[in-house]
Amino acid sequence: MNTKPTDSSGISFTALYTGAVWHRNGLSDDSLITAQGRWLYSLMSPFEAASKTVAGGNLRTFLLQRHLIIDHLIEQAVAERGVTQVLEIACGLSPRGIRLRRQFPQLHMVESDLPDMAARKAAKLAASGHLSPQHQVTPIDILAEDGEQTLEAVIERVFDAHGPIVVVTEGLSNYFALEVISDFWRRLAAILAKRPGSVYLTDSYLLPSQPVIRGGINVLRRMLGGMTHSQVTIHFDSDAEAARHMSRLGFADVDIHNPRQFYGQLPIPKSRNEPLVRVIEARGPASEKA
């Protein structure tokens, strides 16, 4: 039986919460804040405070860790390896595009999301004067297998034919079962293989060994799955397993980044225990220039 979901729009409201977290932490632009995001931020505050006390970290801890590590890895690709094309899939209300375009005016930034969220983001960027041929928003559906919203069609439509690209998905992959998101990853690996020097960045999670925290996370995972009508899944038991899986799907080279590596180097919050989030950096073949 084919259990692949065809509509994942139930996930979209979570972008309002993450958007509010970016804004509260001085990472966003006033044009991207929403009333619903502010409301969700207040609603979640007691739960976030309790998690921090009990577990030594909370959702906001790992959101900031992953967001700033992904930014750092994009900056490396742009500043040190000369990549000039960035595609942020499932952009939601992420302010990353605005910040990157300010930092790197040569960058061609493309944000993409399901059609409703993409339209919402485009309207906000247009109203604040950020939209331009160098900073676009376009609809995508990572589950689509044909038509204008497929991964393949979007990349062909927005970027040059052969140059390296950075592709980001933040806060997306864990809403899907491993076999579903692996289909998307396999297709992406095939595209990056034809564009030497390209890189894919995404977040991933590990379950803690401590039984009470582990149980709490499993409850949270099921609640979030129910609220978003999705299959929230922790995909890997270890960093080595994550790296092996991505390599098997066709990525040439994979690094798994633990926030600990960046304590003191990036302005990220520290987890009291082992951080639960990782950033996967999966590269296509090296560019001949590198």
Ligand X SMILES: C[S@@+](CC[C@H](N)C(=O)[O-])C[C@H]1O[C@@H](n2cnc3c(N)ncnc32)[C@H](O)[C@@H]1O
Residues that bind ligand X (CB under 6 A): 8, 11-12, 14-15, 18-19, 89-92, 94, 113-114, 117, 140-143, 170-172
Degrees, nearest 5: CA angle 94-100-103: 145
- Which two structure tokens, joined as six digits, stand for 157? 């439509």
Residue with tokens 């690209």: 165
Task: Give the residue with the Cβ less far from ligand X, 81 or 187.
Answer: 187
User: Least distance to ligand X from the beta carbon of 247, Å?
Assistant: 24
Q: How many residues does the chain have?
A: 290
- Which two structure tokens, joined as six digits, stand for 259? 């926030």
Task: Give the residue with the Cβ less far from ligand X, 88 or 208.
Answer: 88
Residue 158 burial (CB < 10 Å; 0-12/13-18/19+)?
Answer: middle
User: Least distance to ligand X from the beta carbon of 79, Å?
Assistant: 22
User: Least distance to ligand X from the beta carbon of 216, Å?
Assistant: 20
Strands 253-257, 108-113: pairing is unpaired
Q: N- to C-terminal Cα distance for the chain?
A: 45
User: Least distance to ligand X from the beta carbon of 119, Å?
Assistant: 11
User: Least distance to ligand X from the beta carbon of 140, Å?
Assistant: 5
Nearest-CB residue for ligand X: 92
User: Least distance to ligand X from the beta carbon of 161, Å?
Assistant: 23
Task: Give the residue with the Cβ less far from ligand X, 168 or 249.
Answer: 168
Cβ-contact 277, 186 below 8 angstroms: no
Task: Give the residue with the Cβ less far from ligand X, 145 or 241.
Answer: 145
Task: Give the residue with the Cβ less far from ligand X, 21 or 196.
Answer: 21
Nearest to 279 by CA among 253, 257, 252: 257
What are residue 108's DSSP bridge partners?
Answer: 85
Task: Give the residue with the Cβ less far from ligand X, 15 or 155.
Answer: 15
Nearest to 40 by CA among 93, 116, 119: 93
